[in-house]
Amino acid sequence: MTRVVNHGMVLNALGTVSDPELHYDIVTLNMVRNIAIQGDDVKVDVALTVQGCPLHQKIEQDVRNAVQKLPGVGEVTVNLDVMNDEERRTAFSRAFQQSQQKKTAHEGPAPAKPAAPSQAAAWSPLLAEDSRTRLIGIASGKGGVGKSTITANLAVALQRLGFRVGVMDMDIYGYSQGRMLGASGQALADDQQKIIPLDAHGVKVVSMGMFVKDNQAVVWRGPMLGKMMQQFFSDVAWPFLDYLLIDLPPGTGDVALDVATRLPQASLVIVTTPQTVAKEVAMRTADVAHRAHQRILGIIENMSYIPMAGGQRLEMFGSGGGEDLSRALDVPLLGQVPMETAVREGADQGVPVALAAPESEAAGVFLQVAQKLEAAARA
């Protein structure tokens, strides 16, 4: 008996294909625009979340494989297009709903209700509508581009400009702010049973490192992770801050989605390297921010060059990535940070280079970026 392929079978098959970046299936994400069946042949129209999506080949191949596996299917054609704004908003909100459902499922029978974005204001006076604290997330597409190093240095640079600064290390698994800012110690509670942030060179720091012993790996999943950001606000006795810098994990995973959705008032700085491929991945991070109506203050290009004798610059990782990205997103390039041994040493020793070696080229750039941030945040 020959089986005739039908719409439902194709849709079910497509439900097994995940968007490699958002980690939800493409049907849930509203990426399947149309399925056309003619005889045995199947044509699927897929809308990608962003133009020039670097993972489009993988998505196309996965769609093709999933449909081809169905019995009775002849030729499979996959057409790729790009979502419009409305489709993107739907995709983003569905991804968020799914992430909430996943957490709820982990939490068992009496889950805490996820807070709506507006409820976040109840977590902390820092988030009240009239709060003067500027929240800035430091984000990137790729890992290892220097987000944490830049967060630590901007924190001390803003501090040098006379501002009260806090750092929230939202990189739960890869926490590094304690080490980079030289703030060690376990979490202590005040008489209100709130966690007292650590103090590092005058900067207030909260990081997962305060809650684990001896640098153990963090193994919490789902529910703990989902509540982390809320607790980092509600359970911490933050003093008044002019700036709260939020060090984000790389990519557009659960934490980045949480921050984008629950803290739309937070603006972002996107860190990239001069390579074009880093730029493309960073575009996806920017896309999530746009969908959540978060403001992008600008781009910082890191590891731009190695300063050489006589003022020469060795461009180890190529050039132009930061400028391209700033043009593509129509936001300023806030600075280009050179690659210097002092930057890494400062991070390893817990005294950011902006403080340890203020005469260094990198420290100069951090100070300038801090000034531009202040101007941009005020605008």
Q: CA 267 to CA 136: how far, in whole Å? A: 5
- The distance of closest approach from Cβ of residue 249 to ligand ATP in the complex, given in angstroms and rounded to an integer, is 6
If the CB atoms of residues 244 and 343 are measured against ligand ATP, the closer one turns out to be 343
Q: CA 204 to CA 186: how far, in whole Å? A: 14
- Choose among ligand ATP, Mg ion, none what residue 252 binds, the Cβ cut-off being 5 to 8 Å by kind: none
Q: Which of 100, 148, 177, 360 contacts Mg ion by CB under 5 A? A: 148
Alpha-carbon dihedral sign for residues 44, 47, 51, 57: negative
Give the per-residue contact string, 162-201, with Mg ion (x = CB under 5 A; - = no): ---------x------------------------------
- The distance of closest approach from Cβ of residue 141 to ligand ATP in the complex, given in angstroms and rounded to an integer, is 10
171 lies in the binding site for ligand ATP (CB under 6 A): yes
Q: CA 328 to CA 283: how far, in whole Å? A: 8
Stated length of the chain: 379
Amino acid at 260: A
Contact criterion met (CB below 8 Å) for 365 and 338:
yes
Contact criterion met (CB below 8 Å) for 56 and 80:
yes
Sole window of 6-14, 26-34, 61-69, 337-345 interacting with ligand ATP (rule: CB under 6 A): 337-345
- Choose among ligand ATP, Mg ion, none what residue 339 binds, the Cβ cut-off being 5 to 8 Å by kind: ligand ATP
Q: CA 291 to CA 89: how far, in whole Å? A: 6
- Where is 329: in which H helix or E strand? helix 321-329
Sole window of 55-63, 71-79, 121-129, 140-148 interacting with ligand ATP (rule: CB under 6 A): 140-148
Q: Which of 99, 133, 159, 302 contacts ligand ATP by CB under 6 A? A: 302
Tell me the H-state helices in the chain. 7-14, 56-68, 85-107, 147-160, 177-181, 222-234, 254-262, 276-291, 321-329, 341-349, 353-356, 361-378
339 lies in the binding site for ligand ATP (CB under 6 A): yes
10 lies in the binding site for ligand ATP (CB under 6 A): no
Applying the rule CB under 6 A, the residues between 249 and 268 that interact with ligand ATP are 250
89: how many CB neighbours lie within 10 A of its CB?
Answer: 16
Please give the residue ranges that form the binding site for Mg ion (CB under 5 A): 147-148, 171
Contact positions vs ligand ATP (CB under 6 A): 140, 143-149, 171, 174, 176, 250, 302-303, 337, 339-340, 343-344, 347, 362
